[in-house]
């Protein structure tokens, strides 16, 4: 019984003097938190904005059609990852969210170009025959 009990590693030890069961102080750093076992019903706004940016980058950079955002399998996939996240419509994704991300990137490019002193403009042509 002692061998089986010691394999379980529950934090108990037996005192050989009086053969009583004592609880050993366990390390609580490995203890799981209660909020890791349920899914939140709300998301903070900053996390929603990050998810929206990642979503628009996914659709634009991978060439995925915007109508996929309303496909039932895609909606199910997103709800599996985060049930509280509400997907935008394809019109909102392709219009306001895309325009917002484009303007954000354009402002970053403008800041980079303002700090440059010597630039060369080149054209790269690629022909696939």
Report residue 57 CA to chain centroid gap. 14
Provide the domain limits for residue 50: 45-114
pLDDT band of residue 3 (cuts 50, 70, 90) is: low
Rounded distance, CA 108 to CA 102, Å? 10
User: What are the start-end ranges of the E strands in the chain?
Assistant: 12-14, 21-23
Asked whether residue 37 is domain-assigned, the answer is: no
Asked whether residue 50 is domain-assigned, the answer is: yes
Asked whether residue 68 is domain-assigned, the answer is: yes
Phi (first) and psi of residue 121, to 5 degrees: -95, 125
* pLDDT at residue 17, rounded to an integer: 45
Asked whether residue 74 is domain-assigned, the answer is: yes
User: What is the per-residue pLDDT across 62-115, written as a single tens digit (0 to 9) for each?
Assistant: 999 988 999 999 999 998 888 888 888 888 888 888 888 888 888 888 888 888
Asked whether residue 75 is domain-assigned, the answer is: yes
Cβ–Cβ under 8 Å, residues 69 and 89:
yes
Higher-pLDDT residue of 27 and 31 is 31
Total domain count for the chain?
1
pLDDT band of residue 36 (cuts 50, 70, 90) is: low
């Amino acid at each position: 019984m002692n061998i089986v009990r010691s394999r379980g590693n529950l934090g108990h030890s037996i005192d050989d003097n009086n053969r009583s069961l004592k609880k050993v102080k366990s390390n609580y750093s490995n203890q799981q938190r209660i909020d890791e076992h349920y899914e939140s019903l709300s998301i903070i706004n900053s996390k929603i904005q990050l998810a929206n940016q990642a979503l628009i980058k996914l659709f634009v950079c991978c060439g995925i059609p915007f109508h996929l955002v309303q496909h039932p399998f895609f909606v199910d996939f997103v709800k599996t990852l985060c049930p509280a996240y509400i997907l935008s419509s394809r019109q909102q994704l392709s219009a306001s969210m895309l325009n917002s991300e484009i303007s954000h990137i354009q402002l970053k490019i403008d800041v980079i170009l303002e700090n440059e002193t010597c630039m060369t403009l080149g054209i790269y042509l690629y022909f696939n025959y």
